[in-house]
């Protein structure tokens, strides 16, 4: 398991692995928003939490179609399936590696980009906290979507269509927590619900993903 985790990290960091793509996408989306909305700092302050959350979510989606497809194409997934590792564990570990290479950089970059959107000072802490709590769920749900679409030629678009609706609860509670904090309100309730969604996803999704992957490998 640990070997698989570190292999995925190494593959992501080496040439062609796509590390940083999600982060660069996030950066560009957030930079484009003031251009499209116009230089109205009050409006930007108002929409900043939502834009940051939506940008992070789309950036996370960007690299998901390679999560299992690469291993499927070169035959490694068949070989992993005949190894002592359970498929559920394989999917969970790959989701964890995806989070470290995609979700974690987004969490760390979000406060910097918050400045660009004139995010209210009280919102930064909760924004980072909500992204840290929410992005693991995005990676794990994405891994489930990747397991569903593995083996389908050009499955990336289908993956987005399947996964985005499942992202809704995380997006609602995450953006709501950041918005409330930015307005100086108490954000404990949406944060707790966000953490609950993430825990439920982390508990259930590996098994669902393992199941569909087993069917897809036939």
Partner 1 sequence: MELTVTDLAVGRGGVPVLAGVSFGLGAGQALALRGPNGSGKTTLLRTVAGLQPPMAGSVAGAEDRIAYAAHADGLKAALTVAENLGFWASVFGQSEIAPAVTAFDLEDFLDRRAGQLSAGQKRRLGLARLMVTGRDVWVLDEPTVSLDAASVALFADAVQGHLAQGGAALMATHIDLGIEAETLDVSQFRSAALAMDAADEAFL
Residues found near partner 1 in the complex (CB under 8 A): 2-4, 7, 10-11, 14-17, 71, 73-85, 217-218
Tally Cβ neighbours within 10 Å of residue 196: 13
Minimum CB separation of residue 115 from partner 1 in Å reads 35
Minimum CB separation of residue 213 from partner 1 in Å reads 11
**Residue 2 or 153: which CB sits closer to partner 1?**
2
Pairwise CA distance, residues 154 & 207, whole Å: 25
**Residue 57 or 77: which CB sits closer to partner 1?**
77
Pairwise CA distance, residues 33 & 65, whole Å: 26
Minimum CB separation of residue 85 from partner 1 in Å reads 6
**Residue 118 or 216: which CB sits closer to partner 1?**
216
**Could you give the angle at which helices 41-62 and 124-149 cross, rounded to 10 degrees?**
30
Q: Which two tokens stand for residue 55?
A: 């940008």
**Residue 35 or 218: which CB sits closer to partner 1?**
218
Minimum CB separation of residue 214 from partner 1 in Å reads 9
């Amino acid at each position: 398991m640990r070997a698989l985790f570190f292999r995925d990290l190494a593959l992501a960091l080496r040439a062609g692995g796509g590390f940083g793509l999600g982060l660069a996408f996030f950066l560009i989306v957030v930079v484009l928003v003031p251009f499209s909305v116009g230089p109205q700092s009050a409006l930007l302050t108002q929409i900043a939490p939502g834009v940051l959350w939506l940008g992070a979510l789309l950036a996370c989606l960007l690299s998901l179609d390679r999560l299992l497809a690469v291993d499927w194409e070169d035959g490694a997934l068949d070989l992993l399936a005949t190894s002592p590792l359970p498929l559920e564990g394989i999917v969970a570990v790959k989701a964890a590696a995806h989070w470290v290479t995609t979700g974690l950089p987004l969490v760390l970059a979000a406060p910097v980009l918050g400045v660009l959107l004139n995010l209210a000072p009280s919102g930064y802490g909760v924004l980072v906290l909500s992204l840290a709590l929410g992005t693991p769920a995005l990676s794990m749900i994405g891994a489930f979507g990747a397991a569903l679409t593995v083996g389908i030629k050009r499955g990336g678009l289908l993956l987005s269509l399947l996964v985005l609706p499942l992202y809704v609860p995380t997006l609602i509670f995450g953006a709501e927590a950041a918005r409330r904090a930015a307005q100086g309100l108490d954000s404990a309730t949406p944060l707790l619900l966000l953490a609950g969604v993430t825990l439920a996803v982390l508990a259930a999704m590996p098994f669902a993903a393992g199941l569909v992957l087993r069917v897809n490998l036939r």
